[in-house]
Amino acid sequence: MLALLDQLPGDVVYSPYGLQRALSVVREGATGETRRALDAFTLPPEVPGVLSAQAAWLAPGYAAGPKLTLDVGPLDLDTINAWSDEKTHGMVPRILEELGEDEIAAITDAEYLKAKWRQPFQSTERKPFEGAGDVDMMSVEGRFEHAEDAIRLEYAEHDLRFVAMLGEWHEVAWQRGPGTVELPRFTTESSLDLDKVLGLHMPVGHDLDELIVGPGKKGFSRIIQRARVDVDEEGTTAAATTAVTMRAVSMPMNPFHLSFDRPFTWAIEHAPTATVLFAGRVVKPTSRRD
């Protein structure tokens, strides 16, 4: 799922975890060609420390099929957006801007994470970042898992860690040792049409009848995800809402110094399972200031 970063230019944040959870609901109720298209999207394991929620939304005349076990509400734009706002603690106040006339259902998944660093950053200074001028650059000294161009920073609980790599995502040989890490304070927000990015050409047929019962041939309409991440001296807050809409047609080492002062990719993962919760790229870091 990190391969999606290659198709998402500039500053971006998304949740592979949330996307997989949302599509796993549809996969469970799909048959035929739709099921085959979604074979890779099985339900990932629950990750401690991440608040997850899911819901289904149906238009009048449609009902939950035998494979749809989520709480069901009316397919109403304001109701869905209020749900996203609540479940993400205000991080994603709106997931949909409109509902198409032929859209008869939506599956939504929300993910929220608030995690403190095991070792908070000790200072912040204005320093240059390649291509973006001076930014708020945080600094911390300690012992970390690192490579020549990558770092793992542990959160205080739940075996979560922040992984950052200069340039694009790549394989590295990790080692642990003393050193200094510089990382910009940043906020990133994204709104993504993931059906286009994923290249999922979903058929319109009877393949979703075990998910949704009602008139017409049913198929995918859109896969939308909105996400935001705030990274500062104390920790990280991240959230994402995914909406899948459906339509009917008729050793001791020398100290190192690693500064993330040019574009980098990052991910938040659950260390024991390597489940990627959030991922992104920072090209021009900006930070929220109270």
Q: Indicate the number of domains in the chain.
A: 2
In a shared domain, residues 108 and 225: yes
Q: What is the pLDDT of residue 201?
A: 55
**Which CATH number is 275's domain given?**
2.30.39.10
Q: What is the pLDDT of residue 36?
A: 83
Which range of 32-46, 132-146, 212-226 scores highest in mean pLDDT? It is 132-146
Integer Cα distance of 268 and 161 in angstroms = 6
Q: Write the pLDDT tens digit of every residue in 71-111.
A: 999 999 999 999 999 999 999 999 999 999 999 999 999 99
* Percentage of the chain exceeding pLDDT 90: 75
Residue 289 lies inside a defined structural domain of this protein: no
Q: What is the pLDDT of residue 266?
A: 93
In a shared domain, residues 177 and 256: yes
Reported pTM: 0.87
Structural contact between residues 186 and 206, judged by C-beta atoms closer than 8 angstroms: no
Q: What is the pLDDT of residue 169?
A: 86
In a shared domain, residues 29 and 54: yes
Q: Write the pLDDT tens digit of every residue in 107-155.
A: 999 999 999 999 999 999 999 999 999 999 999 999 999 999 999 999 9
Q: Among candidates 168, 152, 155, 199, which has minimal Cα distance to 9?
A: 168
* Percentage of the chain exceeding pLDDT 70: 95
Structural contact between residues 15 and 278, judged by C-beta atoms closer than 8 angstroms: yes
Residue 138 lies inside a defined structural domain of this protein: yes
In a shared domain, residues 168 and 278: yes
Amino acid residing at 202: M
Integer Cα distance of 201 and 52 in angstroms = 27
- Hey, what are 80's tokens? 């869905």
3-state secondary structure of 256: strand
